[in-house]
Amino acid sequence: MGESAAANNGQLEERAYGVQFIAVPKDPKKTFDTKLLKGAEGLKRLKAALGHLISQSPYSAGKLELLKKSGEVTVVYIPGDVPKSAATGENVAVFLPDFLPVSVTRRKSYLVVVGRHGVKWPKNELAAVLAHELVGHGMQFRRGRIGKLRPIDLECEAYLYEELANQDLALEKHSTEMVRFRKALEGHWCADFKAYMRKHQRKATALWDTLNPNVPKLLSIFETYLNETAKKRL
């Protein structure tokens, strides 16, 4: 699984699955109310989660391969709090392509930062988070969508990627967490997308009426939604 390991000024670096994993040193000036995982343990958990996602979710694995072909894919563990997402305000993990210095190769940087809370999540749940942040937002970055699409549409698409991963990872859909996730997916982030479907593709709204929606079909309709709504905003 691990291809190499190195330590640089307290920063740990390893490679696995063609992805760079980095654990940055703890900020000695900061204290927290919970015990922090050491860098090596953090990397171990991140590698296990990504490996699980790759093995269990062929769709996510295929998209990850596209990212690796066009840029550097990196997952960073910081023993602290990650910068909050402008869209969601969450601080579990966040897609931050500019977190590290620009690569001298000028290739795209697909980088996700995972903080002190997210790194402790169970492997399944952490794998789903990586599907959202790394695969979902990574594909948007690859396609030049970040900065052009509305935050609500960016999150809708990334939530759909996460929903597919939830299915592939066989997460318990009736759990409190998954019910909350589904409500956020349909009731908030994809609310505009669903309104578009009700108006323009009414028959396709049945795709939502199941415990495990056909996400690839929804993503296909989402492309039409983006194209048509973008024209109206010009």
Tens digit of pLDDT for each residue in 40-50? 999 999 999 99
Per-residue model confidence (pLDDT) at position 10: 81
How far is 138 from 73, CA to CA, in rounded Å? Answer: 9
Q: What is the pTM (predicted TM-score) of this model?
A: 0.91
Distances (CA, A) of 152 to 71, 76, 134, 138, 139: 26, 25, 17, 16, 16
DSSP 8-state symbol, 18: T
Share of the chain above pLDDT 70, in %: 89
pLDDT in tens, 143-188: 999 999 999 999 999 999 999 999 999 999 999 999 999 999 999 9
Summarised one tens digit per residue, pLDDT across range 54-81 is 999 999 999 999 999 999 999 999 999 9
Containing structural domain, residue 134: 2-233
Cβ–Cβ under 8 Å, residues 171 and 125 = yes
Residue 178: name the closest of 194, 191, 159, 193 by CA.
159
Split into its structural domains, the chain has a count of 1
